[in-house]
């Protein structure tokens, strides 16, 4: 008896070594009618453009990092 799986031939009678075919495996959890509505319909978009908030927060964060680097260079030459 040939098997596509690498199973010891002495263990063919073990029920733990009986695997479904690929078709059986993939059909086991599919609904009867697998056509589902789209969860993200195409077309259209947000009516208003997206606003990018936090400009000054980003500027402050970058300035703080630059300040820490410059202080590190100044204090530990």
Q: Which of 19-23, 24-28, 30-34 has the lowest mean pLDDT?
A: 30-34
Are the C-beta atoms of residues 52 and 38 closer than 8 Å to each other? Answer: no
Overall pTM > 0.85 = no
Q: Is residue 18 part of a domain?
A: yes
Q: Is residue 57 part of a domain?
A: no
The alpha carbon of 63 is separated from its chain's Cα centroid by a whole number of angstroms, namely 34
Instruction: Specify the number of domains making up the chain.
Output: 1
Q: Is residue 36 part of a domain?
A: no
Residue, of 57 and 17, whose pLDDT is higher: 57
**Summary mean pLDDT of the chain:** 79
Q: How large is the average pLDDT for residues 26-32?
A: 73
Full domain range(s) for residue 19: 1-31
Q: How large is the average pLDDT for residues 37-64?
A: 78
Q: Is residue 62 part of a domain?
A: no
Q: Is residue 23 part of a domain?
A: yes
- SS3 per-residue string spanning 11-36: HCCCHHHCCCCHHHHHHCCCCCCCCC
Q: Check whether 16 has a pLDDT greater than 90.
A: no
| pLDDT the model gives residue 28 | 73
């Amino acid at each position: 008896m040939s098997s596509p799986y690498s199973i010891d031939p002495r263990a063919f009678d073990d029920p733990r070594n009986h695997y479904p075919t690929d078709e059986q495996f993939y059909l086991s959890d599919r609904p009867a009618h697998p056509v589902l509505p789209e969860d993200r319909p195409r077309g259209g978009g947000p009516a208003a453009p997206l606003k990018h908030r936090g400009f000054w927060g980003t500027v402050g964060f970058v300035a703080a990092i630059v300040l820490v680097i410059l202080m590190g260079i100044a204090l530990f030459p």
